[in-house]
Structure 1
Amino acid sequence: MPENKTQPTQIAPRDFIASVEHPTRRDDALTLLALMEKITGWEAMMWGASIIGFGTYKYQTADKKWHEFMRTGFSPRKANLVCYIMPGYTNFDPILERLGKHKLGKSCLYLNELADVDMDVLEELIRAGLDDMEKKYPL
């Protein structure tokens, strides 16, 4: 299995957010940054050119190589906010049903803007994702 191409960088997350052109996406990114800092207690770091991550975990692939990746994070993309808050395959439907307008990928949550979702439910979802990560990949 190839090594994870998305690696930590020295880019400051707030500098990256300041470069986001769309004003709503930029403001939402600042809100998510503050929310995830509060929830995790971890300092944000950039992963690659556009992902803001919090915490890390190590995992082993089938080829017995160890890799490191963020525990949770987000990216203010042009089309939407992408939240990486679910470790994948865990059923968070009871929480997602209360969240508001969203789309799902394998372990990604896509939001048009934060105004479309219930922020208390989003916080609950982020915490549930982190709790699930802790069960699978203890600190």
Structure 2
Amino acid sequence: MATTQTTTWTDADPHAFVAAVGHPVRRRDAETLLTLLGRITGLAPRMYGASIVGFGEYHYRYASGREGHAPAAGFSPRKAATVVYLNGGVLDDADLARLGPHTTGVGCLYLKDLAKVDLAVLEEILARSFAALTSGTGGAAS
């Protein structure tokens, strides 16, 4: 039996969410990502759940039957680091070596300070991930 995710898009204002981020570096980085992802995607940001700022969406379905919709590009300013979601699975070792200080998880990039990373490399990574999810093979932007 297929299960469907429960996290959904909300009507919350992503700019107000970012303005309310308490940690000054996370807030500054979130403001930078709002601009960067807006430029890459050509889409307005929307809140996905209570703490993820998303741009566009794609449909996923796992072999287990779990399926749902998720942001095609997105981030969340967390306490320890800003999480950038890369659901397109395009993390390349060469790009990561050029990026600067970061850690990775499954489909996630953890950044503690965007001032210490190469934003041009980050933009390449984000653009490639978004394109992979919205090219018709991984999902569709909306």
TM normalised by structure 2 equals 0.88
Structure with more relative contact order (C-alpha pairs < 8 Å, separation 6 or more): 2
Report whether the alignment pairs 1:75 with 2:90: no
CA–CA separation in structure 1 for the residues paired with 2:77 and 2:61: 29
What SS does structure 2 have at the residue aligned with 1:5?
Answer: coil
Where does the alignment leave 5 or more consecutive residues of structure 1 unmatched?
Answer: none
Q: Is the 8 A contact 2:8 2:49 kept in 1?
A: yes
Q: Give how far 1:5 is off.
A: 2.7
Q: Give how far 1:75 is off.
A: 0.4
The match for 2:34 is 33
Q: What whole-Å deviation, never above 9, does each CA across 1:26-80 have from its counterpart, x for those lacking one?
A: 1110011000001100110001110000001123344667521110100011110
Report how many aligned residue pairs link the two structures. Answer: 138
The match for 2:128 is 128
Report whether the alignment pairs 1:49 with 2:50: yes
RMSD of aligned alpha carbons: 1.8
* Aligned residue runs from structure 1 range 56-135, under 5 A: 56-62=57-63, 67-88=68-89, 90-133=90-133, 134=135
Q: Is the 8 A contact 2:91 2:125 kept in 1?
A: no
CA–CA separation in structure 2 for the residues paired with 1:63 and 1:114: 36
What SS does structure 2 have at the residue aligned with 1:96?
Answer: helix
Letter of the structure 2 residue corresponding to residue 71 of structure 1: A
Q: Give how far 1:18 is off.
A: 1.1
Q: Give how far 1:85 is off.
A: 2.4
Letter of the structure 1 residue corresponding to residue 132 of structure 2: D
Identical-residue share of aligned pairs (%): 43
Q: What whole-Å deviation, never above 9, does each CA across 1:79-126 have from its counterpart, x for those lacking one?
A: 1000002423x4511211110000000000000110120000000110
Where does the alignment leave 5 or more consecutive residues of structure 2 unmatched?
Answer: none
